[in-house]
Structure 1
Amino acid sequence: MLEGLKLTARQVGHDRALRSLLRDCRRLLSERGEANSVAIARELVARFSALPDEQRGSFFARLSSDFGPDPKAVLQSAKAYAEQPNASNLIRLTQATEPPRQELLRRINRLPGGTSSIVAMRRALLPRVARQPELEALEADFLHLLSSWFNPGFLELQRVDWNSPAQLLEQIIRHEAVHEIDGWDDLRRRLQPDRRCFAFFHPQLPAEPLIFVEVALLPEMPDAIAPLIDKKSTALPPREFKVAAFYSISNCQPGLKGVSLGNFLIKRVAEALQRELPQLKTFCTLSPIPGFARWLRAGAVCEGLVKARREHLAQARATLLEACGNDLDRLATAQALRALATGPQQALTRLAAFYLGIHATHPQGDPVARFHLDNGARLERLNPLGDLSAKGVKQSFGMMVNYLYDLQKVETHHEKFTQGEVAHSRALASLL
């Protein structure tokens, strides 16, 4: 009984906190709230931060239902614009369709640290959208505003090196998402003269990187990741720098998911490196293929293939399955991949070519491939045994890929991809 009373008391307290938070939202949107927006917004953010996780879902639901546009006003304005499509009616329609919660977020943003608070709110919102579809419009409002506020024109590109503040270096270690950084010695190697690390920063989040990319300066296009992240390797002299290889890109702010940052980052970094090191002639990536093994296990389906390509794909899959006794899990070790005979290894490479060269245009295609191809890169070369780490073997049977960034052709390649065509090298074309 006592526990039941405690539970009831906690629920009453949570409900009271939610009501207070919603009251703050209405105060902030009032005329008085506009004049006192900083003080009210500070209180609102503090209440949200203290709100229990289960109550945050209720708060977002109320933001969605109580702070949306007025349907009657929207309908009236839409009819007026349909009858007289002039500028005045269009302005009124635009104003009617904008949800009041967008103005609420703008007023929170006036608070010192308000931008960071809104990013944190969206981070809390994102996992709930799949479970609560009614929150999709609210999520669209967050994304709309953050995409404007984090427009690349507002972002600052900074190089991260060993002399950067320790707090920043710690964040690089913590947020590295592709190839884990194994402590300070590993980070030091990745910041030596034949390596570069660049990050985007926003003026409202000056000490927090939004996204960063790591680059290796090399004599030729790399075909394996291990040499690039070997912390015991020796730095190359500048005279050998001919290729800039982007080998890792990591987002640091989950609350900015879906806000375009990485595509602009790679292009800005390539331009900066070209100015610094005019001898660099090739800009490429050494990229993972995170969805390849999953696609193979699911049957290696490519839609819309002509007969000849369907046969090539089926033959390659049959060859690989025969080599592993119809059990692809037998390939999920570095030893097994090294032991593959030439025929099955070529079949695995051909399957990867189909996955990246054709399936990548599908909305469910490989996310890394879609990022680079949509960014204007060209599918250049496949690298069997490129990543024999446990992660690389599990997600792609060790396969890696080079995407080539020809800065003169990225717009052309981007246009091709939007029309369902993957720009690729002749070597890749021969595998399809």
Structure 2
Amino acid sequence: MSFNSWMNSIVDAGRDLLLRSAKDNKNGKDIAELCRDLCSNKGEAMGTALACAVVNAYNDMSDEEKFSFFTLLIDDYSADSRDILRCAESYRGDSSEQNLNALKQAIASPRLQLFRRINMSATGTPTLVQMRSYLQRLLKDNPSLRPIDDDLKYLLKSWFNRGFLKIRSIDWKTPAHILEKLIAYEAVHEMNGWDDLRRRLADDRRCFAFFHPALEDEPLIFVEVALVKGLATAVQPLLAPKVDDQHNVEADTAIFYSISNCQPGLKGISFGNFLIKQVVMELQQELPTLKQFSTLSPIPGFRRWLDKALAEDQPTLISADDKQSLKVLSQDGWQQDNETNETLKPLLLRLCAHYLNNEKRGAAPLDPVARFHLGNGAQIGQLNWLGDTSANGLKQSAAMLVNYRYELSKVEENHEAYVNDNKIACAKKVLELIEG
């Protein structure tokens, strides 16, 4: 038999197995049996067919059936604690490579093998990403399912590492089905249709996204950039339609004003740090005149922290007079009153600077956006009063925004100080706000 004939026979056998497996599933072969078959020592062609059958069975499940499937994954595919203890005892008595490997194997749950084999299907990776996305909704009320999430996250971190990611520049010529997803996935400043998107892809704007081969045209994360003169301090002018007679100025600053994660199933797997650094390199190459790289970022936890601080009564931080002044935040339109702003501005700037620099979750900053950018090596550069007067901006941060500055000569130094010593890079003028 020739090599080509042999290869064709394997392909035909695999196709027959796939069709037979799908037929078996329709005839009542449930996903539990399919998973057992998939984890058995079967050949590659049969394994691929079974993986496809498991994927199809999962995608056809109701919510109730998915919950039962997750329960099955806990009951039948968790690591055996007795094996772990036995192997640990053996390794403690004899720390040989053989005993170490046995311990590693005992600790690894059979779920990992099952998920790896499901990934043999052509649509295995997106199915596992969707599976984790669905699982995220159940964890709060069903913490016993968390080991499944841990296993999926462990594998997806490996499968979605930087080496597999491809960066693409998004513009108005990008296929419409991808552009539609940008509108749907925008998480910071909502887009109201195609006109908003067109403005964000104009000639003084840039947009970049990461993609993964297994998810085809599904963006994982995208960043929107405004090319401006000087440091942008408010987002509404950046989002406003471009005026026809607006003078074109040579931009010297790139403002990262929106970063949106697109796949809930990849929660906790960081792409943004790689994306920002890659975009900086792309922009430097395209536009050598750019001298500053900065974000214009929301402060999503500030009002929540402030409300808690007020309820807990911290007189050394917020005096009785301060509390009286802050009551106006519950009134609509407070940001439009100049007299109110004169009182609130220094008070809220002081409290927000304190929040970003001093309030912690463990050793890390309490604010999630601050954790992200400071961990990347950025500096808290400037607070911007009335930087975002949208309803969401008022609700999250009393209309304030912050510039996290990426000073390229200091990024690595800032990152090392943050990671090793929990030190926050903060501009002198922001620290002075805390002192009042």
Contact between 2:296 and 2:402, CA under 8 Å: does it hold in 1? yes
Structure 1 residue 273 corresponds to structure 2 residue 283: yes
- Specify which of 425, 428, 431 is matched with residue 430 of structure 2: 428
Q: What's the CA shift string for 1:296-351, capped at 9, x where partnerless?
A: 1111699xx9xxxx84x334xx4443325x45412x53545654242431011101
Taking the aligned partners of 1:269 and 1:86, their CA distance within structure 2 comes to: 47
Q: 2:81 corresponds to which residue?
A: 71
Bigger CA drift: 387-396 or 65-74? 65-74
Distance 1:239 1:133, change over 3 A: same
Instruction: Report the CA distance between 1:416 and its aligned residue.
Output: 3.0
Range moving further from structure 2, 237-246 or 158-167: 237-246
The aligned amino acid for 1:159 is S
Cα gap change, 1:24 to 1:165, in 2 (>3 Å): same
Question: Which residue matches 2:411?
Answer: 410
**Contact 1:225–1:286 under 8 Å retained in 2:** yes
Where 1:192 maps in the other structure, the secondary structure is: coil
Partner of 2:157: 147
Corresponding position: 1:174 with 2:184: yes
User: 1:395 is matched by which residue type in structure 2?
Assistant: Q
Match of 2:140 in 1: 130
Matched with 1:389 is 390
8 Å contact kept, 1:361–1:420: no
Tell me which amino acid in the other structure corresponds to 1:138.
Answer: I
Instruction: Summarize the alignment of residues 87-166 of structure 1 with structure 2, pairs less than 5 Å apart.
Output: 87-166=97-176
Aligned runs of 1:199-348 on 2, under 5 Å? 199-233=209-243, 240-299=250-309, 311=316, 313-315=317-319, 318-324=320-326, 326=327, 328-330=329-331, 332-333=332-333, 335-336=335-336, 338-348=338-348
> What letter is aligned with 2:286?
E
Whole-angstrom distance in 2 between the partners of 1:344 and 1:295? 17
User: In structure 1, how many angstroms separate the alpha carbons of the residues matched to 2:375 and 2:114?
Assistant: 34
User: Once structures 1 and 2 are overlaid, which stretch shifts more, 360-369 or 415-424?
Assistant: 360-369
Unaligned runs of 5+ in 1: 1-15
**Comparing 125-134 and 156-165, the one that deviates more:** 125-134
Query: What secondary structure does 1:111 align onto?
Result: coil
Q: Deviations over 1:152-209 (max 9, x none)?
A: 1210011000000000110111111111112212111111121000000001112110
SS of equivalent to 2:210: strand
Secondary structure in 1 matching 2:318: helix
Following the alignment from structure 1 to structure 2, what is the Cα–Cα distance between the partners of residues 143 and 108? Answer: 15
> 1:341, 1:47 → 2: CA distance?
59
**Alignment TM-score, normalising by the size of structure 1:** 0.88
TM-score scaled to structure 2, two decimals? Answer: 0.87
> Which range is displaced more, 411-420 or 104-113?
411-420
| Contact 1:289–1:395 (CA under 8 A) maintained in structure 2 | yes
1:158–1:200 contact (8 Å) kept in structure 2: yes
| Deviation >6 Å, runs of 4+ | 16-19, 235-238
Distance 1:125 1:338, change over 3 A: farther
- Please state whether the residue corresponding to 1:198 is helix, strand or coil: strand
Tell whether the 8 Å contact from 2:55 to 2:121 is kept in structure 1 after alignment.
no
Alignment size in residue pairs: 406
On the 8 A contact 2:185/2:262 being kept in 1, the answer is: yes
How far apart in 2 are the matches of 1:33 and 1:120? 27
Task: For residue 410 of structure 1, report the CA deviation from its aligned partner.
Answer: 2.2
**Sequence identity percentage:** 45
Q: Which runs of 5+ in 2 are unaligned?
A: 1-25
Structural RMSD (CA): 2.4
1:219-245, Cα deviation, whole Å (9 max, x unpaired)? 111110011011244597776111000
Question: Would the alpha carbon gap of residues 233 and 292 (structure 1) be closer, same or farther in structure 2, given more than 3 Å must change?
Answer: farther
CA distance in 2, matches of 1:328, 1:189: 32
Q: Cα 1:256–1:236, aligned 2, differ >3 Å: closer, same or farther? A: farther
- State the alpha-carbon separation in 2 of the partners of residues 300 and 19 from structure 1: 59
Where does residue 12 of structure 1 map in the other structure?
Answer: none
Which residue is 2:19 aligned to?
A: none
Distance 1:148 1:414, change over 3 A: same
Q: Which shows bigger deviation, 372-381 or 362-371?
A: 362-371
**Worse-superposed segment, 219-228 or 33-42:** 33-42
**Partners of 1:361 and 1:421 within 8 A in 2:** no
> CA, structure 1 residues 78+397, in 2 after alignment: closer, same or farther (shift >3 Å)?
same
Query: Which of 191, 196, 213 is residue 201 of structure 2 equivalent to?
Result: 191
CA-to-aligned-CA distance 1:17-60 (integer Å, 9 cap, x gap) = 99811111111000126551111111111111111102212211
